[in-house]
Amino acid sequence: MHRGNDLRSDTDLHRAHNRAIFPASMFLITLSLLNPRPLHAAPNPLRTTRPQKEIVTFRAAPLRDGAVTFSLGFTLGTHEGKASAARAEVAAELAPFSVRGGFIEVPIASLSSDDAKRDCHTREALGLDYAKSDFPGSHVCEDGKLPSEGKNAVAFPTIRFDIASVTAPDAAGNAVARGKWTIHGVTRESTPIPITITPLLGKKAAFRVHGSASLSLKEYGIAVKNFLLISVSDSVMVNFDLIFEEK
């Protein structure tokens, strides 16, 4: 009889222990759901099956509308436009996340604004070899197009940024990119470009990069013909918001 009382006492103690532990466990689980670990704190925030020390190549997804835009001031306001196409790749190590190199390339034929004539003049300024063409002495656009061959055909079809280095992102994803721009056949070191890198959740490793860069037309030997008393600024602002996915 005494032993039975001991067994019931042990059982009662076990049940009491469970009743005490269960609410505490649920509290901890609930707390963890309400306060998930931030992506940037994870040792490998990019989802991939590859070894973390392996260098992985990421390719830019097709451009969303407004993913690459530009603005150029002029006497009466600001010209704004966008790119409809771009090609970009980045090589990165995942743990810790470290960009090893890459490039972004935009065809000048993909640049557009709300004025077809102005778009052709943009391609004149960016794409023609002034040593051979009639521009900038005179405009060579006809019906919003440049000749497909000859001295007034496009000689420099792309704008390219080659990535030399990217600093390690801080807790908020902020980093600084450095590299070289090649525009109008001229290659120059860029000023540091502030960017933000955001890991994206999905089936493949992916991240988003957005930032802005200011470029000087004169530094790349780009001439823009004035119209009467209307002139344009020397500074062009380029904004980008790209998504890179594991190849």
Q: Is the pLDDT of residue 144 over 80?
A: yes
Nearest Cα to Cα of residue 67 among 212, 222, 189: 212
Higher pLDDT, 244 or 98: 244
Asked if 155 and 132 touch (Cβ cutoff 8 Å), the reply is yes
Q: Which residues make beta-bridge pairs with 163?
A: 102, 179
Q: What residues contact residue 110 under an 8 Å CB cut-off, 6+ apart?
A: 83, 84, 85, 86
Asked if 63 and 84 touch (Cβ cutoff 8 Å), the reply is yes
pLDDT level of residue 204 (50, 70, 90 thresholds): confident
Q: Stretch 210-230: mean pLDDT, rounded?
A: 85
Lowest mean per-residue pLDDT among 14-18, 46-50, 170-174, 203-207: 14-18
Q: Note the pLDDT of residue 55.
A: 87
Largest CA distance in the chain: 114
Sign of the torsion formed by the C-alpha atoms of 183, 184, 187 and 191:
negative
d(CA 220, CA 181): 9
Q: Note the pLDDT of residue 210.
A: 95
Q: What is the pLDDT of residues 64-109, one digit of tens each?
A: 888 999 998 875 568 899 999 999 999 998 777 888 999 999 999 9
pLDDT above 70: percentage of residues in the chain: 74
Q: Note the pLDDT of residue 59.
A: 95
- The pTM (predicted TM-score) of the whole model is 0.76
Lowest mean per-residue pLDDT among 39-53, 125-139, 189-203: 39-53
| Secondary structure of residue 71 in the 3-state scheme | strand
pLDDT level of residue 34 (50, 70, 90 thresholds): very low
pLDDT level of residue 195 (50, 70, 90 thresholds): very high
pLDDT level of residue 225 (50, 70, 90 thresholds): confident
pLDDT level of residue 8 (50, 70, 90 thresholds): very low
Q: Which residues make beta-bridge pairs with 89?
A: 59, 103
d(CA 65, CA 18): 56
Q: Note the pLDDT of residue 36.
A: 37
The H or E element spanning position 229 is none
Q: Stretch 50-61: mean pLDDT, rounded?
A: 80
Asked if 81 and 241 touch (Cβ cutoff 8 Å), the reply is no
Token pair of 110 as six digits: 């993909």
Q: Within its chain, how far is the Cα of 141 from the centroid?
A: 32
The H or E element spanning position 75 is none
Q: Note the pLDDT of residue 37.
A: 37
pLDDT above 90: percentage of residues in the chain: 58
Residues in the chain: 247
pLDDT level of residue 49 (50, 70, 90 thresholds): low
- Using alpha carbons only, what angle is made at residue 65 by residues 71 and 157, rounded to the nearest 5 degrees? 60
Q: Which residues make beta-bridge pairs with 227?
A: 230
